[in-house]
Amino acid sequence: MHRNLNLASATLVLLAALIPVTSCERTTQSAQPKVVTVAIRDYKFVPETVTVHQGDTVEWKNEDNVLHTATADGQAQKPAFDSGNISKAAAWRYVAGTKGKVNYTCTFHPYMKGELTVQ
């Protein structure tokens, strides 16, 4: 009986050794991208600061009665993102690609400021 028990224990130890250590990493890497919503309300981005991961989608929803944009600040001629006009009750989506921090504004209302951080 002890011999069978020892053989079973040895088999379990061997099987445990064969299970890859990186299995936790695979679960993290295969996580589904998320959609994070930023409301445009009362001439503000709500929330003003958003942090997402690469591949996540940020959606700006215009809840005001006027046109707005979500346009990345920057020195480049072509900003990291530019929604164009977002009409009343409309939305625009951006899939986060490059890691880093991007400040953005509404081109019609430059006092409206937001910050997007991509990890």
Task: Indicate the fold that domain 32-118 takes in CATH.
Answer: Immunoglobulin-like (2.60.40)
Q: Which burial class, exposed, middle or buried, applies to 11 when counting CB atoms under 10 A from its CB (0-12, 13-18, 19+)?
A: exposed
Flag whether the pTM goes above 0.85.
no
Q: At residue 55, does pLDDT exceed 80?
A: yes
H/E run at residue 14:
helix 2-18
Spatial separation of the C-alpha atoms in residues 117 and 99, rounded to whole Å: 7
pLDDT score for 76: 61
Q: At residue 34, does pLDDT exceed 80?
A: yes
Domain ranges, ordered by start, for the chain: 32-118
pLDDT of 83-92, one tens digit each? 999 999 999 9
Spatial separation of the C-alpha atoms in residues 50 and 58, rounded to whole Å: 9
